[in-house]
Amino acid sequence: MPAKRVVIGTAGHIDHGKTALVRLLTGIDTDRLKEEKERGISIDLGFAHLTLPSGVRAGIVDVPGHERFVRNMLAGACGIDLVLFVIAADEGVMPQTTEHLNIVDVLRVHGGVVALTKADLVDEAWLELVRADVAGAMEGTVLEGAPIVPVSAVTGQGKDALLAALDGAVSRIPERVRADFARLPVDRVFTVEGFGTVVTGTLWNGRLKVGDSLVVLPGEKSVRVRNVQVFGKDVGEAVPGERVALALHGVSREDIRRGDWLFTPDAAGPSSMVDVRFELLKGAPRSLRTRARIRFHLGASEVIGRAHLLDREELRPGESALAQLRLESPAVALQGDRFVVRSYSPQITIGGGSVLVAHAVKHRKKDTDVVQTLSLVEKGSPRDRVAQAVRAAGGKGLAAADVAREAGMPDAESAVAVSALLAEGIVFRVGHALLHAEHLKKVADDLARSLGDYQVKYPLRWGMTKGELRNRFAGTPQEVFAAAVDSLARAGRLFIKEDRYRIDSPDVTLSPEETRLKERIEAGFLKAGLNVPYAKDLAVGVPEDKVNDVVQTLVEEGKLAKITTELFFHVDTMHEAESLVRKMLSNNGKFQVSEFKEAAKTSRKYAVPLLEYFDRKGVTRRQGDVRVAGGK
């Protein structure tokens, strides 16, 4: 078993001793900036690392507590596994204590430990009061019940208890199923002599090694990994949950900034509209009206947009709703991501939630279908979510390779869901894509309607030719078309005869008038014998199209024989002619066209094509200017 990797983030009000505590635990001073040293406060993120008593290697992200730097705090808090929540024992709960607590709660950080710092400044009785107060503040949050450990960065008191508590919290982190592709939110960019552009971040999922191709999102610039470091040391491969520094080829310092993402190519794309579940904090100062301007924080990025509430006009503090966030510049989100929302002005944390659809289409107001669909995405099992992703992809289907990504789950999990859905007939495999039964049904319904309309228009024809139907659905991918035809056939609705399709009944049904016309034409042919008429002459006044259809029907029914494209004989007449030919052959072994013409009492105009027809059938064979037996 490889050693577990975790990233621990600090949180807490300004001056409560976060940086001092990290220094106590790791020996590393995370306040690197000159201004930080001068002012004695943290401004930007600081990074350190330590090995816990259990051997677990932990990356540490130290965040600033100042209310003006919450944006930096958010960039650090994304992707942490645990929080080291710092509250100074002498001050207790302060404004950014609450704001940071809201943030880690909305992000659903997997728990953590509360450090009551500056324990050296207070007495035992006070400490107990603060402890009780803090425990109350944590109620109903991800830190409810978390260990509360008094410590002092000055005396070192409580250090071992804190480390032990962190180890305990590490052991309680649920095992995460991570996607295979690489995903890293960039939280720092700088240049290093000899290495060029270097970025750092927590590797959310996937593995990274030298030579890997990546894409910078949302800008979509391609880069290659030149060097990988973890905790200041070159490594062969970085694994999920590690703090990583990457030297990159193909990008300059100016082309990449905090808030950007590094992804395996094709694993994600920029998006300007996301459908979400949005929760307004209980402590939010006011209700949120639909279309309110907000700041959307995901990963290390901040994007401004508007929150369109999908199922109401106004959201009250403590409530949650389905919403569509329309962003002013592209973000990068995947289904299931947690995010934080701050109000546009004043800049305070008001809520957050989870991404339901990363690439959304604009919804009409109060579209109940959308609300239903999103509820399914939200509450659904992996199977429901895969089905929903395939459904959302529409009539062209969803490439099987993209299913896991669209449904927001690892490949292995989506594969299980896909096989269940295939077995249940809820999705269909068409080539390399998956198509939802609903879309297949729609194509099948369209095909059926097209065939039905055709049969109404041409009641005498046995359906439409395959070629014509395909032409009418030229915009439908061949595989989808074939699957739809197949589904109609399996449902017993589609009938196929030679090159034709017919819907709903295998037989042509004629009106009494059409039946009479057919009988009249058949009788006409029978009566004419070998001196056949033009069909149209047998049905004067009837449109030629219709007459041709009747003739075609009679051919299909085996009543007329088609000798050439224009010449038809009644099959009874053909039997007589064939008997005559066979008799002449058995009498003399051969005969000439003129002999046949006389015996059959017909003209050369019919005799020649008739004999050629018998040649084709093998009844006769031409030998110079005579016919001999053909062998059949």
Q: Which of residues 131-150 bind Mg ion (CB under 5 A)?
A: none
Can you tell me which residue has the tokens 């055709």?
454
Locate 245 and state its tokens: 């520094």
CA 607 to chain centre: 68
Closest approach, Cβ 121 to Mg ion, in A, equals: 17
92 contributes a contact to ligand GTP by CB under 6 A: no
Judged by CB under 5 A, which stretch of 34-42, 129-137, 208-216, 240-248 contacts Mg ion? 34-42
Q: Which residues touch 628 (CB under 8 Å, ≥6 apart)?
A: 585, 589, 590, 620, 621
Considering the complex, state which of residue 120 and residue 438 has its C-beta at the smaller distance from ligand GTP.
Answer: 120
447, 440 contact by CB (below 8 A): no
Count of CB atoms situated within 10 Å of the CB of 472:
15
169, 109 contact by CB (below 8 A): no
Residue 15 interacting partner from Mg ion, ligand GTP, none (CB closer than 5 to 8 Å by kind):
ligand GTP
Judged by CB under 6 A, which stretch of 39-47, 184-192, 280-288, 302-310 contacts ligand GTP? 39-47
239, 176 contact by CB (below 8 A): no
451, 505 contact by CB (below 8 A): no
Residue 118 interacting partner from ligand GTP, Mg ion, none (CB closer than 5 to 8 Å by kind):
ligand GTP
* 7 strand-pairing partners: 59
Considering the complex, state which of residue 59 and residue 158 has its C-beta at the smaller distance from ligand GTP.
Answer: 158
> Residue from 6, 7, 8, 17 that binds ligand GTP (CB under 6 A)?
17
> Residue from 97, 102, 141, 152 that binds ligand GTP (CB under 6 A)?
152
Closest approach, Cβ 311 to ligand GTP, in A, equals: 39
> Residue from 6, 15, 150, 619 that binds ligand GTP (CB under 6 A)?
15
Give the contact letters, 273-302, x = binds to ligand GTP (CB under 6 A), - = no: ------------------------------
470: closest CA among 480, 461, 460? 480
Number of shown-chain residues binding Mg ion (CB under 5 A): 3
42 contributes a contact to Mg ion by CB under 5 A: yes
Locate 453 and state its tokens: 């309309």
269 DSSP assignment: -
The C-alpha angle 393, 436, 309, rounded to 5 degrees, equals 50
71 contributes a contact to ligand GTP by CB under 6 A: no
100 contributes a contact to ligand GTP by CB under 6 A: no
Judged by CB under 6 A, which stretch of 35-43, 182-190, 235-243, 420-428 contacts ligand GTP? 35-43
> Residue from 16, 100, 110, 461 that binds ligand GTP (CB under 6 A)?
16
**Length in residues, the chain:** 632
> Residue from 7, 11, 18, 363 that binds ligand GTP (CB under 6 A)?
18
Could you give the 3-state DSSP secondary structure of residue 438? helix
Closest approach, Cβ 167 to ligand GTP, in A, equals: 21
147: closest CA among 179, 177, 170? 170
Closest approach, Cβ 340 to Mg ion, in A, equals: 20
75 contributes a contact to ligand GTP by CB under 6 A: no
Judged by CB under 6 A, which stretch of 113-121, 210-218, 491-499, 617-625 contacts ligand GTP? 113-121
Considering the complex, state which of residue 118 and residue 295 has its C-beta at the smaller distance from ligand GTP.
Answer: 118
Q: Which residues touch 459 (CB under 8 Å, ≥6 apart)?
A: 508, 509, 510, 511, 514
353, 278 contact by CB (below 8 A): yes
Helix axis angle for 95-106 and 124-138, nearest 10°, is: 40
* CA distances (Å), origin 274, targets 107, 179, 378, 387: 17, 20, 14, 19
Residues at the site binding Mg ion, with contacts judged by CB under 5 A:
18-19, 42
What are the residues binding ligand GTP (CB under 6 A)?
12, 14-20, 40-42, 64-66, 86, 117-118, 120-121, 152-154
